[in-house]
Structure formats: C-alpha cells, structure tokens
Amino acid sequence: MENEVAELAGTALFTVNNVWMMLATALVFIMHLGFASLEAGLTQSKNTVNILFKNSIIPGIGLITYALVGFNLMYPGGEGGGFFGFAGFFISTDAAGLTSAYSEGYTYWTDFLFQGMFAATAATIVSGAVAERIKLSSFLVFSTIFVGIAYPITGMWKWGGGFLDALGFYDFAGSTLVHSVGGWGALTGVIFLGPRLGKYVGSKIHPIPGHSMPLAAIGVFLLWLGWFGFNGGSVLSADPGLVSLVLVTTSLAASTGAVGAMLASWGYTKKPDLSMVLNGILAGLVGITAGADVMSPLDAMVIGLISGVIVVFAVIFFDKIKIDDPVGALSVHLVCGIFGTLAVGIWGDLAGLDQLWNQFIGVASVGAFTLIFTGVLWGILKATMGLRVSSEEETDGLDLGEHGMEAYPDFEKNS
Amino acid sequence: MENEVAELAGTALFTVNNVWMMLATALVFIMHLGFASLEAGLTQSKNTVNILFKNSIIPGIGLITYALVGFNLMYPGGEGGGFFGFAGFFISTDAAGLTSAYSEGYTYWTDFLFQGMFAATAATIVSGAVAERIKLSSFLVFSTIFVGIAYPITGMWKWGGGFLDALGFYDFAGSTLVHSVGGWGALTGVIFLGPRLGKYVGSKIHPIPGHSMPLAAIGVFLLWLGWFGFNGGSVLSADPGLVSLVLVTTSLAASTGAVGAMLASWGYTKKPDLSMVLNGILAGLVGITAGADVMSPLDAMVIGLISGVIVVFAVIFFDKIKIDDPVGALSVHLVCGIFGTLAVGIWGDLAGLDQLWNQFIGVASVGAFTLIFTGVLWGILKATMGLRVSSEEETDGLDLGEHGMEAYPDFEKNS
Amino acid sequence: MENEVAELAGTALFTVNNVWMMLATALVFIMHLGFASLEAGLTQSKNTVNILFKNSIIPGIGLITYALVGFNLMYPGGEGGGFFGFAGFFISTDAAGLTSAYSEGYTYWTDFLFQGMFAATAATIVSGAVAERIKLSSFLVFSTIFVGIAYPITGMWKWGGGFLDALGFYDFAGSTLVHSVGGWGALTGVIFLGPRLGKYVGSKIHPIPGHSMPLAAIGVFLLWLGWFGFNGGSVLSADPGLVSLVLVTTSLAASTGAVGAMLASWGYTKKPDLSMVLNGILAGLVGITAGADVMSPLDAMVIGLISGVIVVFAVIFFDKIKIDDPVGALSVHLVCGIFGTLAVGIWGDLAGLDQLWNQFIGVASVGAFTLIFTGVLWGILKATMGLRVSSEEETDGLDLGEHGMEAYPDFEKNS
C-alpha cells in the first residue's frame, strides 16, 4: 500500500510538471502569432499577405524539420562536451518516453513539441528583418535549413550538453541560442539583400512607417504572454519557487524595458514613440532571457531598463549604417540577446569575471558559427534561386507579385 | 496517517486533472474568437458587424441552451446503447459533482463547461458558410435549436454511450460529432439560402475576396491554439503520455496540412495562396481530430498532408457546383471531418476493415440525422421568418441593414 | 519513508495550486491586451496610437509601482481591521516565500505577480473613459499614483484584512475593489476633463462611432478569457470544486449579459447593437465578480441578465447627463460593479439584509475614498500640468499631436 501511495504521489507531481510544460508549449506557439502580427503591423499593407504567409507556414515547416532532423541534432545523447552529434532521423516512438523515467518534468512528446516550437521562433526572427523584399521561395528554403540544421547545432553546444555547457556558459532560455541566433541569421540576410528601395537615398533616411499599429501592439502583447511559456517553461518543470521567480523577473524586465524605451525615445526625439515602447518591451524580454532564473527582481528591472534604452539607440544606429531592418529585429533580438547573455556575468547569482568570459565565449562562438553558416547559405541561395524580388514587384508589393492577392481589398489606399 | 497521505496524493492528482480540463475549456473558448476573426477576415467589410454579432452571441446562446437542455440530452445517463435520452431540464447542483466520485478527471462543473464550449463551436461552423446573406433573427433561432437539440442528440450516440459507441465507432474529439455535424448544418443552410448575389453569373465564378487577411490569420492561429484544448482536453484527464501525444499529433497534422495546401495551391494555381494555407492548417486539425490519440506522429503527418491537399480541391469543387461557402467551412469541417473519421479505419492503432466500416456507419448515420433535422429546420424558418435579407440589403451590406452601424466608419472604401 | 511520501504528495498539491495561479496570472495579463483592443476599437482612428501607447505602458508602470509600494500597501500584514498599513518599500526576497509555508496556494512571487496584474487593470479602466482628449503625461502621472497608492489602500480594506473585511463585506474578485475603483477614478476624470469636442451640441448628442469593430470584439473575447483567471484565480488555489464553479458562474453571467444587452438594445433602438452586446458580456462579467463563488449557476444567469440590461440603459443615461465616456467604461465597471457587489446581498449563499447592508457600506466607503482621492489628484494635475490637449490637437487627433505618428498611414480616411 505504501508503495502505491508513493507512486500515486509521484504520478501527481509528474502530471503537474507535464501540464505546465504543455501549457508553456502552447504559450510559445502563440508567439508565432505574436511575431506574425508584429511584423505585419510594422510593415506596409502591400506586403501583408506575404508576411502572413511566411509566418503561417514557418511553424509547420519548423515542426516538420525538427521532427525529421532538428530534435535529434540538438539532443543527440551520448557523452556530451562535443560540437556535433546526431541521433538519427525522425523522432522516436519508444514507450519509455511517456513516463517519468524519461524526465521528471515532462514526457518525450512534450519535450519534442516544446523544443520544436522554440526552434521555429528563430526562423521567425529572420523573417521580420528581411521583410518587404525577399523572394518567398528562397526564404522558405533558408528557413527550413536554418531551423533544421543551424539552430539545433548551436543549441546542442549548450542545451544538448555540448562544449559550451561543459565550459560553464549559461543561457537559461536562449538570449543567445535562440534570439541572437535568429539575429545573426537576420543580419547576414539583410546584408545579402540590401535595403528596401527608397529607404536610404544619398545620406537621407526615409522612414517607411508600418501600416497598422494595433496589429503591432497585439503582436507584442502576445509575445509577452508567450514569454511566460518561453522562460517559464525553460525551468523544465513546474517547480513553484523557480518558475514563479522566472515569471516575475521576466515581467519586470518587460516593464522596465517599456519604460526605458519610452524615456529614451521621449528624451531623444521629443515624442513618445509607440513602436519604440513596443520594441522596448521585447528588448526587456530578450535581455532577461539568458538569466531569468538567476536574477533578483531588482536585477531584472535593471537589465530590462538598460535593454529598453539600448534598443532605441540600436535602431537609430542600424539606420545610420544603412542596415535596413523594417521591424527592428536586429536591435531587439541580436543586440539585446548579446547584452542579456553578458548580463549573466554582471548581475545575479552567477555574476563574476570568469562567468562573463564564459558568456563572451558563448556569444562569440555561436555568433561565428551562425554568421558563417547563414552567410554561406544566403550566398548559395542568391547565386542559385536569387534572393530579391524585382524592383517592380517590390514597388507594387509582394502581395500582388508573389501571391496575386491583397490583404485589404475593400479599402482605398494612399498612393 | 497512511490513508490521509493517500487522500492527499489523490487530491493532488484529481486537482491537476481538473486544472488541465479547465484550461482546455479556456482554450476551446478562445476558438470562438478564432472563428469570429477568421470568418470576418474572409468576408467583405460591409458584413463585418453582422459576423461579429453572430459570433459574439453564439457562445452565450450556446452555453445557456446547453445548460438548459443540451448537456442532459447529450449525457442522459442510464443504460446506454440508445438513440435518445434526456435527464431533465437544467444542469444539476448536486454536491457529488465536485469530487473525484463524479470523475477522476474533472468536476461536474468543468465537465459541463468544457462540453458546452464544444457544443457552441458547431453553430459557429454554420455561421461562416451562411455568411453575407442570412437574416440575423433566423440564424439565431437556428443556432439555438441546433446547439440545444441536434448536436447533443448525435453527440449522445457516441460520447453519451449511445448506439454508435456500442457499435465500436471511434471519434476521439469530434471529426464527425462536432465538425461534420456543423458541416452538414452548413450544407443544408447554404442550399436553402443559395449563393451570394454576383458570385455565380452564368458559368462564371466571381471570387469575392475577404477584406482582412490579418484577421483571417489571427483566427487560424487562435484556432490552432484552441485545438490544444479541443483535442488535448478530449483525453478527459491530464494523463501525461496520452495528452502530450495528442498535442504532437495535432500540431504535426496542422503542420503538414499547411504544407499540403501550400503545395497543392502553388502547383494548381501557380501562386501560393494564403487563404488556402490557412484553411490547410484547419484541414489538418479537423482531419486528425477523430484519431488524435491513436495515431503515431508519422500517421498524423500523413493524415494532415492529405487533408491539406483535399481542402484545396474541395474548395474548387464546391465553387464548381455553385455551392457558395464564403469561408470554406464545408471543405474544412465537412469534407475533412469525414476524411478524418474514416482515417481511423486506415491508419493508427485501430486500423482495419471492420473499424473502417464502423467509421462509415458513424459518418452516415450522424450525417443522415443532421441533414434531415437541419433541412427541416431551415425549411420551417424559410417558410415562416424567411432566411435571406433583401437583395438591396445584401448589396449595401448587412451591417447597415441589420445593425445600422459600420465596422470601419473612418476609412474610405473601394466601390 | 511515510513522511517522504506525505511530503511528495504535499509538493504535488502545492505545485498544482501554484501552476493554476501562475496561469491565472497570465490570463489576467492578457486582459490588458483585451482592454487595449476594446478601447482602440471603440474610439476614432486618429487616436489609436495614443490609446495603444497608454495601454502598452500601463502594465509596466503598474507592475513597477506595485513592486515598489503597492503590494506592501495592500498586504501590510499586522493585526488587520485597519484603514492603512505599509510593510515598507519594494517586494521582499525572503526565501520562505517560495514554499507552502507562505501559502498553500502559491508562492510569494506568484502572489505578487497575480496581484500586480490585477492592480494595473484598475488604471486601464480609467484609460477608456478619458480617451481621445487627455494629455498623455498627465494620464501617466495619474495612473502611477492611482495604481501605486489609491488602489492598494482600498484593496487592503478587504483583501489585506482591513476594516471592511472585519465588517463582513464580501467582494470575491473585485466588483468593488477593482471595477468600481477604476470606475470612480474614471468618473472624476471625465468630470474634470469634460466631453469630447462636438459630442454634445446644445441638447443634441452626436455619436462618435468607434473605428474598428473587429478590434472591439477581439478585446471583449480576450477579456472574457482573462476573466477565467481574474475570477478563477481569486479562489487563490486550484480547488477543483470551487474554481470550476467559479468558471461556470462567470461564463454563464457573461452569456446572459450578452443576451440581456441584445434584447434591451433590440427592443429599445429596434436594431441589435454590436457594441451593446460586447458591453453586455463585460457587464455580466463585472456583475458576477463580487459573488462568483457563492452563486448557483441560476443565480449567475439572473445577475448576468440584469447586468446586461443595466448596461444598455446606463450608457444611454450617461449620454443624457452629458458624461462623455467613449467606451462605456462607467456603465460597465462602475454601475455593474456596484450592482454586482450589492447582488451578493440579494442572491446566493450569503444573501440577506445584513449582508446587503455590509455590501452597501463597502461600495460607499470605497467609493467615497476613491472619489475624493482621484478628485484631488485630477484637480492638482489640472492646475499644474493641465489635463486636456488643445482643441486643435483634439481635432487633428492625439496620434499626430502627442506621438507624431499615425496608426494606419497606408489608408485613406473619410474626412
């Protein structure tokens, strides 16, 4: 009888852990709608169908490729400490994965789905930066390879027990492994593509405003919501103290991120800029992601605030050097991803010079790999399929050119 | 002491099961926003208020009628094996419903609310197909009777322990009992109503594009999210292995549904069609619903892929035979609902000719009942209240005619 | 061994309670997007950026001030029964808060975040009523002080164990403490601000229609969803019987609220009014909030129905007395908040004349304090910073005036 009771209690705990992880998965899933809304809102209405198309197909392509190769590249098992491993094609259907023998925190299926939803976000980050001029077919090929191969390889270096994990690099939920990876892929993409027509003329910068601020705001709120799962699920169990701390640090960083960006934009441009506040929320979220479980609430507020200020000046900086990123993805995901990763060496439980060095190594090695991998990939795509739509199509909009349909056929447009 | 510990452990397990089921209920609830957004997005802006009105009142009407009669028609208790039963008016307030004595997986209240949210989705499916020309009052009467009486009767045949359950018919989460039921009600409605003015002129088909692709995309993402609860909650407990498998099969079918529809539309029309990809996601979800717990991930991917291809050609087919369904509800819910139900006999743990036959019996009997019931109901409504708004009102839009207001008064419209 | 098993079972129960409370927190968070969408949808497109800005920064400001002072004003600890207490600046980082020693239902962090998300909703309620003419800077100062000081003081009176709690006043989830508090702050704000230009000319009322009904509907659905957490989380544990009853009463009240508002508007104005149905849903939700755990489903349906009727006539009444509330926040949150609070004395487990008197005392004392506090605060702000934008800016829209950007730059507007 006693053993039965112990088993019952163990089942209850395993079940609640798994419930939390499944819900975290659902929350990460809804980030894809967040990215779709944000990206559509911050770009022109003539490219909206194209953006929604990319973002609607990415979760599907991401999950399929992750099932096929990604998951087994990222978690190859074995000794650990390495640079590369592969556990074979397709996810397993071994029944042992359904019990706490697999993990105290979740089943094999939950594990796969949670990680797969994560993986697909990396491609979505790229999508925003290359928007309004990239060929759909080339982007789809890039995304498939990026999610299926590049992301899992560097992911393995830390989360799959690879060399960065052995080194002591820390990245709780992916400031580096997800956000900066997406950011580096976006950076190489933007460089290969070049800016949108008319954005930089001589030394002048012509802002191209997004077509729907409500869509952008919906996107950011959904992303904040999704981060409850992104960071909260990265505890990998429902541990009450740890998960609830993570939700507090995450939300406080988002809060000060918003305030930091408001103050920076209000001070610098004299107008409180909504798109900056929205990106400030995201900046705070990305900034806290690497250390959400090792920061105090006050640390989190400091990191969020700095991230919110950084993002404003990063957006201005990228425009100055004519790196055209329609949605600010580089400023949010790459710059604040790097800052958040380094922050683990500066604030919180792990702070210290050694840790800061390890964080730097992680940032640099993941960055170098992703830069080279995606640079080569974009280069091959450019040489073969071509990366950019024709200037005529760009002017008319990708919705008509790529899809033959309009996002808002009922409404008159300003010309 | 030992008994107390056992009770504590039992309470913990019951509590987590019930938490999962409550959250599944919340997720099914948000499907109503998904349907509202999708339907509004895929139709014209002059009918948007009308569509939002219908979809805002349906969950309310659905829950009220389900509380009054539906729940007790669907779960009449008693011996089982029958065609009809009724446990009396209004939900019970018996205290026993609050403990695991009622069910290991949820309380009586959770049961009612989860099932009630399900019920209301059937009416919402109809709403999309009859959009842009149906009289509001007639639709509301139809919905009330459909959710309160027709849906629970066929639902009882399987889920309430009726004759289809005794027969061995399998429908995990309602490819037939929810989706095809909604689809049959939609089919009879469309036939009684006829096509929208100007849709079919002679042998020509004039596409009437939806007015907001972002709304449509928001709708589909919310529906996918909701399906985590729709299918995941249909396990009727938080069983870690089973629920997480269901989430994986559900998401993989949605993924391949999207890809299947993309390839089919790209291949057939030479343009990657966003609305087809969106419907492909839904097609995969509907297709996997009957067997989400008895399929392997690979089975799910195959079923989703086929569903995604089917939906493209079904949309084209219905247009060819002049069945005017503005949002593709018949193709998604009826056609893929039938396919998904039969798929249980073809793939997965239950596959076999006997099962396939049982699946066919279920599809046919539920279809026959719903066709006749809704046919008679639409016929009576047509003869008494009238089904269709005047052609003048249809041309001007139902928003002005039925509601005296506009959805977007600030913006210029194309005329 | 036995003790270990008991501990394991206890951990499981604590963990599931905390999971529920964290998810309730996430659901309350998403209410902020609900409010943002609703408010933006029901106002003019020239003020959309301004509204989104306010609603995007409020959760951040709310959480920061709540961490700094609000939480410790609302839950000062100590003997109880009082009018005011303060446990010092900033939230604690005492490790005891992470175990069930703090509470059986949640950790200290979950407690803070859940309560903080609640607090911020009060400011959001004000935002809607003062929309389209308030200065951004003044509103931000008001919100900060309102969430940080006014809301927690009256909140303490009941939930922090203050004098209203000692008296026997009952307010389960805040019909008074949240909704009417927001409503009183909105009322004084509207009085100090005056109506929008052109709304009341002589004895004529000129309706100013909202610019996007889809946004409004998205807002209301998200608010209903959020109420699963707002009311469901107010049980302060995952208690299966209690939480599931609360979800049922909450959803049934929303349902009858919708129907009540539909019937009232259809009967009175001869047209079924979408914005009334949307506000009817909210009215039912606000109405049930004070007694969601002490009502039977039938009681809930009655309370919701009455709330839905009330809201229609309250909207008409406020317009008649030239109180200009663009989104109906006073009718929903103040009027139905008061009605719902009194309803606890009329229906359900606590009904009785004594209770009704206690409810009245609660409504009156919280109302008096909030009226005076916010009246003085608005008065000071008016005298110092000014409350209202210039009439030129109001005519051109606050988006250009306050933010220098437009919400929908691509689209032609009706002028």
Q: What is the mean pLDDT of chain A?
A: 96
Closest Cα in chain C, distance from residue A104 (Å): 12
Q: What is the mean pLDDT of residues A253-275?
A: 96
Mutate to test the interface with C, among A45, A247, A296 (most CBs of C within 10 A): A247
- Are B217 and A30 an interchain contact pair (Cβ–Cβ within 8 Å)? no
Neighbours of B213 (CB within 10 A): 30
Among candidates B6, B248, B255 on the partner chain, residue whose Cβ is nearest the Cβ of A59: B255
Angle subtended by helix axes A297-320 and A240-269, to nearest 10: 40
Q: Contact A180/A341 with Cβ under 8 angstroms?
A: yes
Closest Cα in chain B, distance from residue C382 (Å): 31
What is the spatial distance between Cα A338 and Cα C206, in angstroms, rounded to a whole number?
A: 53
Distances from the Cα of A293 to the Cαs of A241, A306, A362, in angstroms? 10, 18, 18
- Are B212 and C214 an interchain contact pair (Cβ–Cβ within 8 Å)? yes
Counting as contact any 3 or more CB pairs under 8 A, the partners of B are A, C
Give the distance, in angstroms, between the CA of residue C284 and the centroid of all CA atoms in the same chain: 13
Q: What is the pLDDT of residues A333-383, one digit of tens each?
A: 999 999 999 999 999 999 999 999 999 999 999 999 999 999 999 999 999
Write down the pLDDT at residue A1: 61
- Are A109 and B248 an interchain contact pair (Cβ–Cβ within 8 Å)? yes
Q: Contact B287/B306 with Cβ under 8 angstroms?
A: yes
- Are C251 and B29 an interchain contact pair (Cβ–Cβ within 8 Å)? yes
The residue written with tokens 């279920």 in the block is B362
Q: Which two tokens stand for residue B170?
A: 């399998």
Angle subtended by helix axes B108-129 and B136-145, to nearest 10: 140
Write down the pLDDT at residue A123: 87
Per CB-CB distance under 8 Å, the chain B contacts of C27 are 26
Of B6-10, B338-342, C72-76, C81-85, minimum mean pLDDT range: C81-85
Write down the pLDDT at residue A269: 86
Per CB-CB distance under 8 Å, the chain C contacts of A274 are 49, 52-53, 56, 403, 405
Instruction: Please compute, for residue B374, the number of CA atoms within 13 A of its CA located in the half-sphere on the CB side.
Output: 34
Contacting residues for C355 by C-beta, under 8 A, at least 6 apart: C168, C170, C344, C345
Mutate to test the interface with A, among B17, B132, B213, B245 (most CBs of A within 10 A): B213
Among candidates C16, C212, C262 on the partner chain, residue whose Cβ is nearest the Cβ of B16: C16
Q: Which of C173, C246, C227, C191 is nearest to C374 (CA)?
A: C191
Helix (H) or strand (E) holding A200: strand A200-201
Q: What is the mean pLDDT of residues A218-246?
A: 98
Taking CA atoms, what residue in B is nearest to C242? B98
User: Which one-letter DSSP state was computed for residue B70?
Assistant: I
Give the distance, in angstroms, between the CA of residue B53 and the centroid of all CA atoms in the same chain: 18
What is the spatial distance between Cα A100 and Cα B93, in angstroms, rounded to a whole number?
A: 38
Write down the pLDDT at residue C1: 61
Distances from the Cα of C345 to the Cαs of C39, C157, C295, C360, in angstroms? 32, 19, 11, 9
- Taking one residue from B and the other from C, the number of pairs with CB-CB distance under 8 angstroms is 197
Q: What is the mean pLDDT of residues C370-382?
A: 98
- Are B274 and A113 an interchain contact pair (Cβ–Cβ within 8 Å)? no
Q: Contact C85/C163 with Cβ under 8 angstroms?
A: no
Write down the pLDDT at residue B392: 97
Among candidates B18, B52, B63 on the partner chain, residue whose Cβ is nearest the Cβ of C213: B52
What is the spatial distance between Cα C335 and Cα A402, in angstroms, rounded to a whole number?
A: 52
Confidence of residue C70 (pLDDT cuts 50, 70, 90): very high
Contacting residues for A171 by C-beta, under 8 A, at least 6 apart: A158, A177, A290, A341, A344, A362
Q: What is the pLDDT of residues A54-88, one digit of tens each?
A: 999 999 999 999 999 999 999 998 777 799 999 99
Neighbours of C192 (CB within 10 A): 18
Beta bridge partners of B108: none
Q: Which of A314, A215, A214 is nearest to A264 (CA)?
A: A314
Taking CA atoms, what residue in A is nearest to C120? A255
- Are B29 and C241 an interchain contact pair (Cβ–Cβ within 8 Å)? no
The percent of residues in chain C predicted with pLDDT above 90, rounded, is 93
Q: Would you give per-residue pLDDT tens digits along chain B (415 residues)?
A: 678 999 999 999 999 999 999 999 999 999 999 999 999 999 999 999 999 999 999 999 999 999 999 999 999 987 777 999 999 999 987 877 888 889 999 999 999 999 999 999 998 999 999 999 999 999 999 999 999 999 999 999 999 999 999 999 999 999 999 999 999 999 999 999 999 999 999 889 999 999 999 999 999 999 999 999 999 999 999 999 999 999 999 999 999 999 999 999 999 988 999 999 999 999 999 999 999 999 999 999 999 999 999 999 999 999 999 999 999 999 999 999 999 999 999 999 999 999 999 999 999 999 999 999 999 999 999 999 999 999 999 999 999 999 999 999 999 999 7
Enter the pTM of the model. 0.98
Q: What is the mean pLDDT of residues C166-189?
A: 98
Mutate to test the interface with C, among B56, B68, B140 (most CBs of C within 10 A): B56
What is the spatial distance between Cα B229 and Cα A15, in angstroms, rounded to a whole number?
A: 16
Per CB-CB distance under 8 Å, the chain B contacts of C221 are 30, 32-33, 36, 56
Write down the pLDDT at residue C288: 98
Closest Cα in chain C, distance from residue B355 (Å): 37
Question: What class is the C2-414 domain?
Answer: mainly alpha
Contacting residues for A372 by C-beta, under 8 A, at least 6 apart: none
- Are C212 and B2 an interchain contact pair (Cβ–Cβ within 8 Å)? no
Rg (CA), chain B: 21
- Are C44 and B410 an interchain contact pair (Cβ–Cβ within 8 Å)? yes
- Are C225 and B26 an interchain contact pair (Cβ–Cβ within 8 Å)? yes
Q: Contact B341/B325 with Cβ under 8 angstroms?
A: no
Q: What is the mean pLDDT of residues A85-113?
A: 91
Beta bridge partners of B388: B134
What is the spatial distance between Cα C82 and Cα B216, in angstroms, rounded to a whole number?
A: 53
Helix (H) or strand (E) holding B242: helix B240-269
- Are C211 and B16 an interchain contact pair (Cβ–Cβ within 8 Å)? no
- Taking one residue from A and the other from B, the number of pairs with CB-CB distance under 8 angstroms is 197
Q: Contact A360/A342 with Cβ under 8 angstroms?
A: yes
- Name the E strands within C182-224: 200-201, 204-205
Confidence of residue A94 (pLDDT cuts 50, 70, 90): confident
- Are B6 and A11 an interchain contact pair (Cβ–Cβ within 8 Å)? no
Taking CA atoms, what residue in A is nearest to C10? A9
Q: Count H helices, E strands: chain A?
A: 17, 2
For A264, counting Cβ atoms within 10 Å of its Cβ (0-12 exposed, 13-18 middle, 19+ buried), the class is buried
Mutate to test the interface with B, among A408, A412, A413, A415 (most CBs of B within 10 A): A408
What is the spatial distance between Cα C391 and Cα C368, in angstroms, rounded to a whole number?
A: 32
Long-range interactions of C112-115: CB distance < 8 A, separation 24+:
C112/A248, C112/C66, C112/C67, C112/C71, C113/A244, C113/A247, C113/A248, C113/A251, C113/C22, C113/C25, C113/C63, C114/C21, C114/C24, C114/C25, C114/C28, C114/C233, C115/C66, C115/C71, C115/C74, C115/C75
- Are A57 and B271 an interchain contact pair (Cβ–Cβ within 8 Å)? no
Q: Contact C277/C313 with Cβ under 8 angstroms?
A: no
Mutate to test the interface with C, among A19, A106, A244 (most CBs of C within 10 A): A244
What is the spatial distance between Cα B281 and Cα C126, in angstroms, rounded to a whole number?
A: 40
User: Which one-letter DSSP state was computed for residue A205?
Assistant: E
- Cα-Cα-Cα-Cα dihedral sign, residues C5, C11, C14, C20: negative
Instruction: Please compute, for residue B97, the number of CA atoms within 13 A of its CA located in the half-sphere on the CB side.
Output: 14
Write down the pLDDT at residue B92: 86
The residue written with tokens 């820390």 in the block is A170
Neighbours of B207 (CB within 10 A): 8
What is the spatial distance between Cα A29 and Cα A49, in angstroms, rounded to a whole number?
A: 20
Q: Count H helices, E strands: chain C?
A: 17, 2
Provide the 3-class DSSP secondary structure of residue A66.
helix
For B306, counting Cβ atoms within 10 Å of its Cβ (0-12 exposed, 13-18 middle, 19+ buried), the class is buried
Helix (H) or strand (E) holding B358: helix B353-384
What is the spatial distance between Cα C381 and Cα C136, in angstroms, rounded to a whole number?
A: 12
Closest Cα in chain A, distance from residue B120 (Å): 22
Per CB-CB distance under 8 Å, the chain A contacts of C109 are 241, 244-245, 247-248
Counting as contact any 3 or more CB pairs under 8 A, the partners of A are B, C
Write down the pLDDT at residue A77: 86
Q: What is the pLDDT of residues C319-366, one digit of tens each?
A: 999 999 999 999 999 999 999 999 999 999 999 999 999 999 999 999
Asked if the interface predicted TM-score (ipTM) of this complex is over 0.90, the answer is yes
Q: Contact B386/B394 with Cβ under 8 angstroms?
A: no
Task: Render the burial of B135-167: b for 16+ CB within 10 Å, e for the rest.
Answer: bbebbbbbbbbbbbebbbbbbbbbbbbbbbbeb
Q: What is the mean pLDDT of residues A257-264?
A: 98
Please report, as a single letter, which amino acid is at residue A344.
V
Neighbours of B240 (CB within 10 A): 28
